Amino acid sequence: MEFLSVTLGSKSGVVREDSVNLMASDNRSKSGWRPQMSVWWIGAAAVCVGFLLLILILAVVAHNSKAIGHQDSKCENLISSLIMDRDALRDERDQMKVNYVNLTKEMEVLQSQYNAMAVSRDALQEEVNRFNVSKKDEPCPQGWKTFKGKCYYFSSSGLTKSWQSSRTDCQGRGADLVIITTKEELEFVVRSFPITWIGLSDLETENKWKWVDGIDLIGDGFWQEGEPNNNKDSEDCVEVSRAAKRFNDVACGYRFSWACEK
C-alpha cells in the first residue's frame, strides 16, 4: 500500500510536473510575444527618427547651399562692380594724364606768348617814356599854362559856353576838356574861375561817369557831398568851383568858363 501510494504519488507528481511544464511553456510563449512587439516598435521609431534626421540634414544642407550660392552671387556682383569701378578710374586717370600733358603744352605756349608780350610792353614803355621826356622838353603853346609836365588852356575871362561848346573849342586847339586825376591838379584848375567845365559826364549812360578820353571815373572821384544827384533828371555834365574845390553835376546847357588839357 505504501508502494502504491508512492507510485501514485509519483505519478501524480509526474502529472503535476507535466502540467507545470505545460503551463510554464504556455506562459513563456505568451510573455515572449510582448517583448518582440516592443523591440519592433522601437526599431520602427528609430528608423523614422533617422529618416527625419536625414530629411532635416538634407534641408539644412540645401538651405546652406542656397545661402552660400546667394552669398557667392553677391560676392561675384561685388567683385564685378569693383572691377568696373577700377576700370573707370583707370580710364579717368589716363584721361587726366592726357589733359595734364595738353595743359602743360598750352601753358608753355601761353608762357612764351606772355614773355613776348612782356618784351613788347617794355619796349612800348620805353617809347612812352622817351615821348614824355621829349614832350616835357617842348614848351607849351603861347597862352597855355604848364603844370606837372602838361599844358592847360583856360578860356578868356568873362567868356562862357555850354559843356559841349567848351569841348568843341578845346578840340579845335588840339586838346580836350581837362581830365582831373589828382587833388593837386584839381586845386590848380579851380584857381582861374569861380566855376569851370571839366571833361567828365554821363551823357552816354546814365550814372556811368566817363572822362572825355572814354575812361570810367575811378573810385568816388572828388564829388561834393550829396553829389552827383542828377537834379530833375537833367544833370549830365560836371563842373568844379573855386569855393567847393569839388565835382558837381549840372545841366550841360549851363554856360561856364572851361579848361583844356593836352
216-223 long-range contacts, CB within 8 A, separation 24+: 221/247, 222/180, 222/183, 222/186, 222/246, 222/247, 223/247, 223/248
For residue 23, is pLDDT > 60? no
**Cell digits of residue 144:** 597855355
Q: What is the mean pLDDT of residues 192-203?
A: 97
Per-residue b or e along 71-102, where b marks 16 or more CB atoms closer than 10 Å to that residue's CB = eeeeeeeeeeeeeeeeeeeeeeeeeeeeeeee
Q: Please tell me the pTM assigned to this model.
A: 0.50
- C-alpha–C-alpha distance, residues 198 and 167, integer Å: 9
Please, which pLDDT band fits residue 10 given cuts at 50, 70 and 90? very low
**Cell digits of residue 174:** 588840339
For residue 165, is pLDDT > 80? yes
Q: What is the mean pLDDT of residues 17-25?
A: 47
For residue 151, is pLDDT > 50? yes
User: Cα 236 to the chain's mean position, in Å?
Assistant: 43
Measuring CA to CA, which residue among 198, 202, 208 is closest to residue 175?
198
Cβ atoms 239, 196 nearer than 8 A: yes
- C-alpha–C-alpha distance, residues 87 and 93, integer Å: 10
Higher pLDDT, 225 or 50: 225
**Cell digits of residue 165:** 561848346
Q: What is the mean pLDDT of residues 231-250?
A: 94
Q: Is the dihedral of CA 206, 207, 208, 210 positive or negative?
A: positive
